[in-house]
Amino acid sequence: MDHHCEWVGNCIGQYNSKIYFHLLVNVFVHSLMGTFVIIYNYDYLLDTSTNVVYFCITILPNVYAIYESYRLIQDFGQSIKNNQTLI
């Protein structure tokens, strides 16, 4: 066992670490794409003052997911590189 992941609802170990790493990469890529789509539609989203709230509600979770998934990719990638666990 490496650690228990709340996202997967399972303990990450030798047999599912590849799946977990792919999950982290997919979360990072999809959040990055979502942020680019939101920024691309920036003018459309900010037509009225109430849409500023919707813009913040949509972009802030994406930015947070990018940050957290990148941080976890670095930690998990470093542990794979050093052949160690996160515990």
pLDDT tens digits, 61-71: 999 999 999 99
The beta-strand segments (E) located in 10-73 are 10-12
Domain spans, the chain:
3-81
pTM > 0.85: yes or no: no
- Cβ burial of 24 (10 Å; 0-12, 13-18, 19+) is buried
Q: What is the pLDDT along the chain (87 residues), one digit of tens a residue?
A: 677 878 778 888 777 888 888 989 999 999 999 999 888 877 776 666 667 777 788 889 999 999 999 998 998 888 888 877 766
Residues 6+ away with beta carbon under 8 Å from 54? 45
